[in-house]
Structures are given as structure tokens and as C-alpha cells.
Chain A
Amino acid sequence: MNVPDRDAAVGSQPADDRVGGDDHPAPIIEGRNIVKRFGGAVAVDDVSIAVSPGEIHGLLGENGAGKSTLMRVLAGVLAPNEGAVWVEGRKLDPGDTRAALDAGVSLVHQELSLVPEMTVAENILLGSTPSRSGFINTREQKRIAAEALEEIGVSVDLDEPIARLSVALRQFVEIARAIARKPQVLILDEPTATLTPAETTYLLDMLQRLAGRGLAIIYISHRIPEIFAICNRVTVLRDGRHVTTVDIEDTTPEGVVEFMVGRDLQLELETHRVDPDIGEVVLSARGLRAPGVNDIDLDVRAGEIVGLGGLVGAGRTELVRAMIGADIRTAGETTITRDGITKRIASYRSAVAGGVAYIPEERRTDGLALSMPVVDNITLPNRHALSRAHVLQSRKIVDFAKHLAEVVNLRPPEIHRNVGQYSGGNQQKVVLAKWLGREPEVIILDEPTRGVDVGAKAEIHRLIRELADNGAAVLVVSSDLPELLELSDTIHVVRDGRIVGTLLRDQADETSVMALASGQTKVDAP
């Protein structure tokens, strides 16, 4: 990802509170003095935002800053407590999704919002199915769906149920749906969280093309370089309040981050480990085969962080799941060595019993009980440590959960709140906290910081390093190249279910990993 060089002074701009300055064309969508409360908590506090046709407007803020909530208000999904949304000078009925859609406001949600059992075509036209006196016009449905997919340059079988598509393809179907509605305002809430660098670049180009045709775009991302690559202006939120709206030329990456966190972020955290103390092999796979996984040999040593790089769909998730017995394997075996004793991993249960912690990719479905409070979610895998003679000790539990919530910087740190009420990034932190509590011997993380803000990301990286420093064997799957490079002592690049190259920390850089991942070079394992 290339960050355009901007040498403006860091954070020296005055906060700009104008909405739609004189030098910008008239805004097409305006949120005026929006307030949104959940119970007593204020999620969005008197925020105004205005976006003009042809503009790509970045929206930044830490996890829980209120970005998604504000966008859901703009798209009519939520009714604000105060304030109103105006499109083309007309006030929208609050909380009327239909009215917002008809006015041309289209939102791509942070969490996938497709119907898994319905087909691609049906999902693209969900809610606006073309019909003649009530009857679905299937031909028209397919035509519009195909047109939208063509517009974004993705080809996929229109009759395929969504459940059978990869996560990345689902994301593009979702974008196709937004496009099919012929919007005037397109809002994307962290669309790149599940995409690889190549797919991200493609998406960003596409958005610029759309903006060039006069679409107003609001773009949310935690990846600052993306913001600087495509946005004309940015708005920063903090704790539900509007901090600033600036033209991108007038600020720098460091400047926006400072606006986001309200303090100087300790960027020195972002450094490699020095002289890691690497011990014996703890987790080992030999000749491992499974659907999508081809003949893998892999070792992870105590105190070592091993990264798995590659494109989405290369088979990394399948690989780690087969390794720990979470999915079926067809050949080969994996072992775990503890105190000099080597044991076969026969099932996921035996892996967990052997000290493996696995943090899955799909946090909402695999990792969390959304309708349970944070404290229960965190303590779920740690019940044994927290009970005496099978009776759970409630004081100990609360202290334990509080400590972990602090460690991952959960915001707000209210452990009795239901997980479902937390923002996306904060939910990810709960998943992490849950497994970190076990102080595992082997920890496997699949996309650990997807959707997590810059500050929390640095915090999570620090945690992972700390675990390794304390002797844990760590295996990380990440499509975020800088993260992979920064964390790993060794990087294995996976393509088509095989390890196509192994790079040590000092050999690896973005180019060498990408070249291997996309199959342009072949490097023999040293």
C-alpha cells in the first residue's frame, strides 16, 4: 500500500467545523446535529456531516467511536434521537430504510448482510426485487444483477447460493447490491477488512471511478493509507463526538491518528522483537492433507511467531484448522510437544487439552455468544481455572474478566454488557481476551486484528509478542502484510494449499511475500 507523501506539519491544523465549505459544491447528503443514544449511553453526540457529489469522504475513529452508528442513521436503519438527515435538500423520515433507499442512499454494512440460502441474483436485488403485479420478473432480476456485477468487474454464477461463496466474493456481492440500487450516495463501512491487498487495490480504484462519475462516497476504514489513497476529505470522530473535518491535503497520517486517539500514539510499539528466545518445536505437522490443503510440513517453536501469508482463499484457514483437528484431515499428522512429551493431536478437543488456543476468522459466528455479557464470553473457556470443586467463583471471575478487558483495551470496559452491543472492533477484542486468559502454550490467530483500530492493533501486537516472549508458540494467519511482516519471526507463504516459500524476518518484505503469494517466483525453503 503506498502512502502519498505528505509533508505538512503534524497535527497543526485547527479543527475545522464547517460543514460543506465554500470551495465545495453543494452537498447531496447532510446529517445535521445527529444524536443517537442506546439506553443511557450516547453513541453519537451532536455530529454533523455533509458530502458532495464526486467526493470520497473518509470517516475515521477508534473502535466504538460511533462511525457505524452514524452511518446507520444516515441510511435510515436507525432513527436518531435528535437531528435529521437531508438528501438533496429534502428531509428524510427518521429510521425509514425504504425512504433512504429511495432517496439513493446505499449502505454496505460492516458485518455481512446477505441471506445465505438465497442466490447471488436474489441477494443483489434484495428488497428491490423487480416485479410485475407482485410476481417476480426473474429475467429482469438477473439482468440487473449481472449488470451490477459487471460494473464492479466481478464474475460469479448468479444462481449460486451465497452460502457457497468465499468471504471476499460475498463482500463484492454486497457492493454489487449497493451499486444495483443506482445510489447517489454510497456508504461503505470497513469494506476492505476481509480483502487481500490486491482486492483492496481493485476496490479502491473502483471507488475512484465511481466518484469520478459523480457518486458521493463515504468510506470507513481503520487502514489510514487507504484513506489517504482515495479520500478528498476526512471526518474524525472520537467517543461519539465530531473532532474535525479536513481536506486531505491539509493533513497527514500522523495528524489524523492524533485526532482519532486524542494523544500522541506510541508508534515505537511498532517494532520487531529483538533476539527472540526460540526454543524447541512445540507444534508440528508432517505430510498434512485435507480438503484445500496439500502435503504440509510445518513447525512452530516455543517463543517463535510464525506467520502464514498468502491471498484469501490460498488455504491458510483450512491449513490451521486441519492442523488442530478442527476440520477433518485426510492424511498426515500433527503433534504437540509439552515438557518433553510428544502427543498426537487426534481431535480439536485433544488440541485444546494440550494447550492450544485457536482464535477463528469468523468472530461473530465461531467465536462469540452475542447475546451473553462480556464476562461470560471471556470466562467460557477458562471455567476450570476459575472454579473450585466445580463451583464457579464469581469474585474471581469478575476480576479475571476485568483484567483481560483492560489488557485488550475494551471500550467501554463494561463487562456486564452484552457482546452484541459492542462495536465490531470491540467484539474482536472480546474474542482475543477470551483466549488470552488461558495463557496458552500454542496460540493460533486467524486475522487477529481485522477491523481493529490503530491503537488497539498496536496493543494486540504487543500482547502477541509478550505471549511469545513468555515461551508460547504462536501461529498467525494475516492478509495484512505490514502486520505479518512486523510480527513474524518466520513467514511461510501459502498458495493453493501448499507452502510455496519460507522467508526469515530479515529476508521478508512486501514485494517478496506478494511475489510468492501470487505465484510469480519460487523460493526454496532455507
Chain B
Amino acid sequence: MTDTQTQPQHAETDDARSDLISRVRTILGRRTEGRAVALLSVVVVITAITEPIVFTSYEVTLGRIALIGLVALGLTAVILMGELDLAVASTLAVSGVIMASFESITIGILAALGTGLLIGVVNAFFVIVVGINSFIATLGMLFFLRGAAFVISGEAPVRLANVDAGIAFGRPLIGPLSPRMLIFIAAFVMLHIFLTRVRAGREFYAVGGNREAAHDAGIPVTRRVFTGFMISGFVASLAGVINTLERTAADPTAGSAVLLASFAAAIIGGVLLNGGRGSVFGTLLGASSLGLLQVALTLSGVQVDVQNIVIGSVLLLAVITDPSSLRAAAGSMRALVRSRSGP
């Protein structure tokens, strides 16, 4: 019976082994970052021609990418499990405000990061223990935290007590890389390793791909969802800390533009909203494209509202050109050509 049932499979893989090109193609076919690569190439080429200044003033560009990217990385962990965290931008704002309301910068940072973790725990509690849909639960959290940020700050930006630390933080540390960039890179590397090499992280994919199967296989689903929301909350508050340090003040309205962009970065990067598919590498590519795009548009004097129109369109385009539907379309086109020209 193995013959009848595995023969086609055999044939396919044997051919693939003998043929390097098709092997490469198989590997590429399994990747999810196709759209992000395409978009990034297009954006790079166009900006290189029209706004080369984007690359010469790379500090600005990299800073932008790091801001979107950091939040998007945390989001990726949650979306991979088929959940949403709409509260990230508000978490960013509230943790910034909390940090600035402490005299000591160290205690401020610790309090801010602790807040981020706590928000993650509360989100996960509502989603997995109480059983509220994560869209609704984190939407509630979004408003709650935004309100809290205004109340704590007294509805005005809070200046950092220790302004010098903030200024020192903004300076490049290694070569052109500012501490913000370095933290972003570190977060990216750690999350990448966590999601591909660490057992608990890899199990995020199982939780998102087929939660019932994950549970039945003995994976502690509840714990994984808690971890995911905590990562997202922590990373968002980290972004809040960095933001506050760089601006030497915490603004309760901070990050309102980040929510859309970071979601878009993850989705363009190939992370499936239903969970189970995607990678932080894709998210990084998505964030880079959007960051470049935003800076290029700003430098060419495009209004913020128009920028949002562009980002929205790119996001829609990314969803329409989902690689799995593209692959299906390409397959049928090829079959069409073959059957017309063949005997």
C-alpha cells in the first residue's frame, strides 16, 4: 500500500533532490516573506531615484524603522497565535508617561517595563481565562490605557527629570548605530531565535495553526498565550521607554500612528492574521519597507493624511497578493499554457 499512496510524493521529492533549481524553488515556496521582499525592493529602487536623501540621512530612516519594527515584532508573537493586540500603541504611551513620572530614571524604566508586562498579563487573562475575543478585549484595553496616560500625565507632555540621560541615549554608540537601533536589533535577534529555535516559541505556531491539536498534543496553550501577550506588552513598553528617552519627554498621545503601521508591517511581512504562519524576519522586511516609505513621503513634503492613504493602499495590496492565492493563480496559468500548446 505504501506504493500506491506515496508514489506521487516520492516522484516529486526525488526530482527535487536531483534538481537544484527546483529544490531552491521548493524552499522559497515554503517561505512567507515574498511580498515583503517585493515591496522592499520596489520602495528602495524608487526612493533611491527620487529621494536619495533617505539613504544619506539614514539615522532618521533607521530610527523610524526601529520604532515601527519594535512594536511590530511584539505584535507578531501575538498574531502568530491567531490573536490580536490592539493595545500596543496605548501601552507605548502609558509606559512612557509612567517612566517620566519617576525621579530616578532607572526606577522609571523598570516601572515602565513592569507595566508593559502587567498589561500583557491582563490582556491574556481576559482573552484566555475569561474567554473574550482578543479584538474586543484589547480594544477595551486600548481606550483604558489611552485614558490612563492622559490622567497620569495631566493631559500634557511630561518632561523627563534627568534630561542628560535622554540626550546621551540619542547619540550613536557603535558606528552610526544609536542605542535605539541596537535595542531593536537585539529584540529582533532574540525573538527570531525564540520563534524558530526555542521549543516554547515554535509552539506558538502550533497554537495559532490548530489550537485544538496543540492542546491535544499536550502543549500548554494557556501558558503560551500568556507568554505571547507578555512579549507584546513588554516590547511595546520598551518602545515607549526608548521614545521617552529620545524626546526627553513623555507624550500621552505618543504612538497613535504606530498602531496602523506596525500591524501593516506584520501583515505585509507575511504573518497570517488567523495565526500559524509568518516570521519575524518578514515583519522586519515589512517594517523596513513602511519605514522607508514614510520617511520618503515625509521628505518629499507629503501630508501625513496622504501618507496614511498610501500605507493603507499598500496594506490592501499586500493582502490581495497573498502568496498562497498567487501561487494558485500562477499554477493554473501554467497549466493553461501547457494544455493549449501540448498534444
Contact = CB atoms under 8 A, between A and B. Distances in A.
Given A116-B210, A129-B202, A107 B216 contact: yes
B25 to A, nearest CB: 13
Interface residues of A, number: 52
A136 B200 CA distance: 9
B210 A289 contact: no
Nearest to B16: A157
Contacts of B130: none
Given A118-B206, A153-B2, A156-B6, A113 B339 contact: no
A154 B199 contact: no
B26 to A, nearest CB: 9
Interface string A147-176: 000000111110111000110110010000
A291 B9 contact: no
Contacts of A14: none
B131 interface: no
B10 interface: yes
A289 to B, nearest CB: 5
Given A122-B202, A134-B199, A161-B30, A116 B4 contact: no
A101 B332 contact: no
Contacts of B205: 115, 117-118
Contact of A109 (B13, B216, B219, B336): B216
A289 B209 contact: no
A200 to B, nearest CB: 8
Interface string B209-220: 110111111111
Given A97-B216, A118-B205, A134 B339 contact: no
Interface string A105-125: 001010001111110001000
Contacts of A128: 217-218
Contacts of B146: none
Residue from B9, B13, B272 with most neighbouring chain A CB atoms (10 Å): B9
A281 interface: no
Contacts of A398: none
Contacts of B216: 75, 77, 97, 107, 109, 113
B331 interface: yes
Nearest to A518: B4
Interface string B16-42: 000000000000001000000000000
B198 interface: yes
B331 A291 contact: yes
B175 interface: no
A134 B210 contact: no
Indicate the size class of the contact surface on chain B: 35 or more
Contacts of A196: 1, 4-5
A418 to B, nearest CB: 15
A115 B213 contact: yes
A62 B13 CA distance: 41
B8 interface: yes
A109 B220 CA distance: 19
A199 B4 contact: yes
Interface string B194-238: 000111101101100110111111111000000000000000000
A159 B335 CA distance: 26
Contacts, number: 128
A101 B340 CA distance: 54
Contact of B213 (A113, A136, A155, A169): A113
A331 B336 CA distance: 8
Contact of A291 (B197, B209, B332): B332
A313 interface: yes
Contacts of B6: 154-156, 169
A133 B243 CA distance: 35
A311 interface: yes
Given A129-B202, A155-B10, A313-B8, A115 B1 contact: no
B108 interface: no
Given A291-B335, A330-B332, A518-B4, A127 B217 contact: yes
A117 B209 contact: yes
Given A127-B214, A136-B198, A116 B5 contact: no
Contacts of B210: 113-116
Residue from A127, A135, A159 with most neighbouring chain B CB atoms (10 Å): A127
A464 B332 CA distance: 34
A246 interface: no
A114 B199 contact: no
Contacts of A508: none
A98 interface: yes
Interface string B301-342: 000000000000000000000000000000110011011100
Contacts of A118: 205-206, 209, 276
Contact of A330 (B203, B209, B272, B336): B336
Contacts of A289: 339
A135 B190 CA distance: 13
A198 B4 contact: yes
Contacts of B206: 115, 118, 122, 126-127
Given A97-B215, A126-B213, A155-B10, A313 B199 contact: no
26 contacts: A77-B215, A77-B216, A97-B216, A97-B217, A109-B216, A117-B272, A118-B205, A118-B209, A129-B203, A135-B198, A136-B199, A154-B5, A155-B2, A155-B10, A157-B9, A160-B13, A161-B30, A165-B9, A169-B5, A169-B9, A199-B4, A199-B5, A311-B5, A313-B5, A330-B340, A518-B4
- Give 5 closest A-B pairs by Cβ, nearest first: A127-B217, A202-B1, A115-B209, A113-B213, A127-B218
